[in-house]
Structures are given as structure tokens and as C-alpha cells.
Amino acid sequence: MLTQLREIVEQVSKVDDLRQSLDILVIETCKAMKTECCSIYIVNEEKKHLELMATKGLETHKKSVTLDVNEGLVGLVYRTVEPLNLADAINHSNYKYVPEIGEEIYHSFLATPIVHRRNCLGVIVIQQRKQRSFTDVEESFLVTLAAQLAVIFAHAKSQGQWFQSNRNQTQIFSGIAASPGVAIAPLWWSDDQPKLELVSPCSSLDIDQELENLSRALELAMKDFRKLRKRLVNDINKDTLAIFDLFIHLLNDPILREDLKKQIKSGDCADWALRQVVESYAARFNKMSDPYLRERSQDIKELGQRLLHFLYNGESVEYDWPHPVILITQELTASLLASIPKGKLKAVVSMEGAANSHAAILSRALGILAVMGVDIVPQKLHNKKSIVDGYSGQIFVRPSRTLVKEYKQLLNEEIELSKLVEGEIEENTQTKDQLTINLFLNAGLSADTSIAINKGVKGVGLYRTEIPFLLHHRFPSEDEQTLQYRSVLKAYPNKPVVMRTLDVGGDKPLPYLCVEEDNPFLGWRGIRFTLDHPDIFLIQLRAMLKASVGLDNMDIMLPMISGLKELDEALAFIEQAYNEVSELSDYQLKRPKIGIMIEVPSMLYLLPQVAKKVDFISVGSNDLTQYLLAVDRNNSRVADVYDSLHPAVIAALKHIIDISNQHKLPVCLCGELAGDPIGALILVGLGYRSLSMNTSSVAKIKYILRQVSLAELVIMVDKINHCYAAEDIREMMVNFLESKGLGGFIRAGK
């Protein structure tokens, strides 16, 4: 039967029209199971009923047959989400007689739900006249078929090919909310740019000409990035502009240029050489589990795409539309965003990408709504009026008048909220009862050397030092690292900058030191790697200390500490580096504060001992949540289990702050939870007084904290401690925010 199952699924998946595919499905299922009747019921979520969409064996006479979700045996299967196998269906208490379909001739009944990620999309039923129970093999076959159909149905639903009662009904698509806001405008799709992934192998007949073409493309791309940077210089801060600095830096990289030339000299055409080199570079980043670093592969691809454009064209693309649009693109890029005139781009819907990409960061800085990773057929949506919800990640195509009215109201609220938030960004971060909360930045957007001082922050709570290591083909020298770190420290005079030591290895392999591991999340990473390479560790520590000479604003943080032995070894290396730099410096070197990242659960139980050895701790809520819940948050199959509001995570965070306060150990939380409105309020209620977040979250979190009192938050946290599920905690906090008039900061996507 396995062969028959594969054949059925293959036939169904080949047909574009979903109704036609269901007709094939019921016929082929009857053949395979040697039964007399097979029917498919699809759930209409809007009308709360099950509709008979295809059947072989029942008499529909072209009339719509529907069942309320609380009616009949099919409704029972939908509600219980379990198979139902009956020898005498007619005498079951839930049986409903529908006279027009002639179902009464069948006694045997077997049905199973079609479920995709806990969402029941429909029910498949087989029936026979003969009174008998279906065998375990038959039931297993139908359950397996339903599981296969669920994937096909879910894909059809995501592409807007799901069943609709009329052609003008609103279609809903979902993606990843990357930049918040609301947009109402026509969708616009254009596919006129060359694609790097479509470049085919090609040999060169004139190597010198290909080298000349490459050189011209490099210079044109360099000129273009400088022009785009200049265009945005007054619109966004230097931290975000560093995206273009990164591209210019890469174009000037002699190693990249040499690799491209080497590929051409081997006999390849320039475009084919470009594709091979870019894909090789991007693959290094793409293997990394850290979402931030993995998204750097998109930067490399964008650079390659821009070079390909200039290999084929002599000038950059200028976009201009007769009216503002919601742009659909295969992949959102920083170049694309910078090329579009102000006022003409309402939002971007990208079929690829994620919320950590540089383009997503730039879209947030520019205030351009963006939704990423949307599974759609863009040609079918071109020029259709739509709404994009940048909070929930939903796109509504052909929205009803009522929906448009609701979102116009939200849009007006959004404008008012933005004015409120930005108007108070330079105010102190204090609750209504005068409690001061210190806000810091998570920095390290790129290998930039010009991070701007951001308004309203106390300094940098986390600077990722691994970026220079990942962009080179060798370990950066001590002098190279010193220059990099000093440029960052100088950007924040008189403000602390917490520099995390090298956090690579295992899940973030260096391109020149690849390590293959079965489970990189639990592997050779962070402090484990640097302790095994004291030469690399000491070079970095000396570079950090040299960079701080005369500035005196650097603290050092150690990542992935899982035990006291690791901590003692790391502290010994820091002491050694300090002594070596002190001997070389004419200036009195200030001894930096030393801290560790609390991200491995084992450290929760060692905090009293840790407090005796370090000056501060930083909580990495992202990894801590991942390890506590045993969930790979980048795995779509279990991503819904990853929830930083899980009661166990809240309990762990409370334990950390309670023990730290007992031992007077300063604590800062630097995970995504700090920049989330609900998360920030819970953290303050738990006792956290220092939060480190991305630039885009600072103004929002500052404003929200100024609208609440500590007393209120303590009461809320006490209630939260009695919750058993993340959903209950979220609902409670949403209600609290709405009661304070702050519901606009969370929307449906939160």
C-alpha cells in the first residue's frame, strides 16, 4: 500500500487546481482501499463549518453540503482531532442524517483529521455498505495519507489557493514581522533583475576581457554603495549606515578580489566566477546557528547580486512608480530600499529573508514596514489593493471595506504613538514612581568602525567581537583587532561598552577553521573554543586592553560559561594579558570589570560562587530559553515551543535576579526579551534594572516604562508566578498593557 500512497500523493500534488486535485484524491483512495465511498470535508474557519468539497459515493447533485463543526461524526473527528472507526455509524449518538447525500446506505465509517501543526484543515472519510470495522492497516493508511495531504493543503493555503466562497473574498498570507507598522496600498511585483542563482557554468574565451569586466563592476558597485549611503546619511544613524560601509569594505577586500580573479583565470566567465565565490562565502555564514550571524550570508549574497547587476549593466536601477506601493520582492536588500524614492514605498513583502537581516534592520531604521518569508505567487497579486500588518506579519489581499476602515484607524494610532515615543527619547528612563531603569544597546551590527552614540542609552550592554574574525580568511592580527575595538570604544566616550570575547566554534565555525559536529548547539563553542586556543584568546584579550588605554570604558564578558573551572581558567588568561599590556603601556591601564553570560542552565545553581569571582553578569535570554526548553528556535517544526514567557524561563529569570541581589552582583539582561514590551515590563517587575536591546527598541521601551509604576509591575509578576502556561502569561500582560492605553505597542503579532 506504500506504493499506492505515494502514487496518490504524487497525482494530487501535480494538479494546480485544488478542487480538481481533491476529485482525483477521492477516486484514487477508493481504488487503493477497495472501498465504495471517500469524501473530503474542508474547514471554513470564517463560517465555523465543515464543507463537503469532494466525494466519490455520495449524492451531492451540485448542491453545497455543510455541517456545523459541532454536528455529526465528521464534526466529532474535527473537534477531537482523532481518527474514528465505526462498524455501525448510523447508530452512533453523534450521527447526523443528511437526506440529500444518500449516506444512509453506508454502515462502516472511518475518518481521520487532516492536521498541520495542530491546525485541523479538514477531515477525510471512507465508508462501506457492509457493516464492519476497518483494519489497523486501513486506518494506518488513511492516517498516513491525511498527514501527507496536510502538507499539500497548508502550502495551498499559504499561497492563497485555499477555497473561497467568492473571488472577491479577502485572501490572507502570513510571514515574519520584520519591521512594524501598517500599510494600505496596491501590491507591486517586478522581476526584471538578473539573479545570481540562475547564472549557468560558462567558460571564458577572453580572460583579460573578463577580468576587465569584473574590475568595472567592482568600481561601479563601489560608487553605487557610496551614493546610496550619501542618500540616507540624514535619515538614519551611523550604526545602520554601517551596512553600506560593510559592503564597501568587502568590495575593497583584497582576498575577495583575489578569489574572484583566481576563478576567472581558471577559465570561468566573470558572472560564473562571481556566483561560485559568493556562494562559497555565504555558505560559511549560513551554517551558523546564531540567527544574527547566519543572516550575514544574506549580506554576501546581496553584494554578489549587486556585482552581477553591474556586470550586465552600466548604471544602477532607479525605481519610480506613479503612486505609493507595497513592493513584493524575492529578497529584500539594503540596496533596494535605498534606491526607492521617499514616499513611494509603503511596505515591503519579501518571499525570502528573516527579521535579523541587514535589510530588515535598515527597513526598521527607515520606518519602512517589512514582512519576510511570505510564501506567495507574486504574479497573481500584482496591483491588487492590500493591507500589510507589520505587527502580526499578515497580508490581506482585496480587504473588505470594514477591514480597511479598522486598519486606517490603527494607522492613525500608529502615527500618534510614534510622535509620543520619539518625543520623549532623551528623557530619563523612569517609572511613574521614579524608579530608574538603565537601557543599553546590543551592538556589533557589522564590522563597522563608526557606531554612533544613540540617544537615551547608558552605553553598550553587548558588543559582539566575533564579526572581524568571521569576515577574514585568517585570524585577524592583534593590531587589526585593536583598531577595530578602539573605534567602537571611542564612539562611546564616558559610557561603558561590554565586549564579549570571541563566541565562535561549533555552531559558528570560522571559515579558516571549520569544525563538523553532530550537535553544534552543545558543542565546541564560546569559551570552550577560546580556552582550547590560548594563543587566539590572549591575542584578543591584549587587543581589547590596548584598545581601552586612555578611554577606560571597556568591560569584558565571557560567553558560554558552564562551570567554575572554565571561569577560573579564563580569569587567569585575562590577568596574564593585563600584566603583559600594563608593561607595554606608558599610561596607567585601568583594570576592566569582568562578567559572564548566564546562558547555560548549569550556572543558575552556581551563582553564589560566581558572585565571588566576577564583577557583573549578563543574562542571554535567547540561549537560556533554548537550553531550558530543549528547543532549536531555528527549527520551524518546534519553533512554537520556544517561548521566552514559558513559566520555567520566568522562574529561572527570577532565580537569577534574586540570587544576584543577595550577593550584590550587578545584572543586565541582553536578549530579545529586553526589547519586547511585555518582556521588559516583566523583567522590571522581577527586579531587573538594566536592559540591553537593539537600537529600534529603545524609544518604545523607554516610553512604555514611563507609563507604569513599579508597584503595578510587582503585582503583575506575582500573578504571573501562578500561571502554568506562556499563553496565560501573555494574555494577562496584554490585558494589562491595554488597560494602561499601551495596547498599540503589542498588536496581534505579539
Catalytic residues: 358, 670
Residue type, 41: Y
Beta strands in 93-204 (DSSP E): 108-116, 119-128, 171-174, 176-179, 182-189
Q: Which residue has the cell 519610480?
A: 320
Could you say which DSSP state residue 376 is in? -
- Grid cell at residue 247: 559592503
Q: In what order do the strands lie in the sheet with 176-179?
A: 171-174, 394-397, 385-389, 182-189, 325-329, 345-350, 369-372, 176-179
Specify the 3-state DSSP secondary structure of 184. strand
Neighbours of 344 (CB within 10 A): 16
8-11 CB contacts, 8 Å cutoff, 24+ apart: 8/32, 8/145, 9/145, 9/148, 9/149, 9/152
Q: Where are the alpha helices (DSSP H) in 195-353?
A: 207-232, 238-252, 254-265, 270-286, 291-294, 296-312, 334-339
φ and ψ of 373, to 5 deg: 65, 40
H or E element: which one contains 608? helix 607-611
Cα separation of 463 and 441, whole Å?
A: 8
State the Cα torsion 644-648-651-653 to the nearest 10°.
-40
- The alpha carbon of residue 678 and the mean position of all alpha carbons in its chain are separated, in whole angstroms, by 18
- The helix-helix angle for 254-265 and 270-286 (nearest 10°) equals 130
Spell out the SS3 assignment of 3-68. HHHHHHHHHHHHCCCHHHHHHHHHHHHHHHHCCCEEEEEEEECCCCEEEEEEEECCCCCCCCCEEE
Residue type, 626: Q
Decide: 353 and 359 in contact? Cβ < 8 Å: yes
Decide: 606 and 656 in contact? Cβ < 8 Å: no
Q: Which residue has the cell 518571499?
A: 351
Cα separation of 581 and 46, whole Å?
A: 69
Name which of 615, 574, 593 is nearest 497 in CA terms. 593
H or E element: which one contains 610? helix 607-611
Q: Where are the alpha helices (DSSP H) in 347-460?
A: 358-366, 401-423
Expressed in angstroms, the distance from the first to the final Cα of the chain is: 45
Decide: 660 and 617 in contact? Cβ < 8 Å: yes
State the Cα torsion 72-74-76-77 to the nearest 10°.
170
Decide: 540 and 574 in contact? Cβ < 8 Å: no
Decide: 429 and 702 in contact? Cβ < 8 Å: yes
Size of the chain in residues: 750
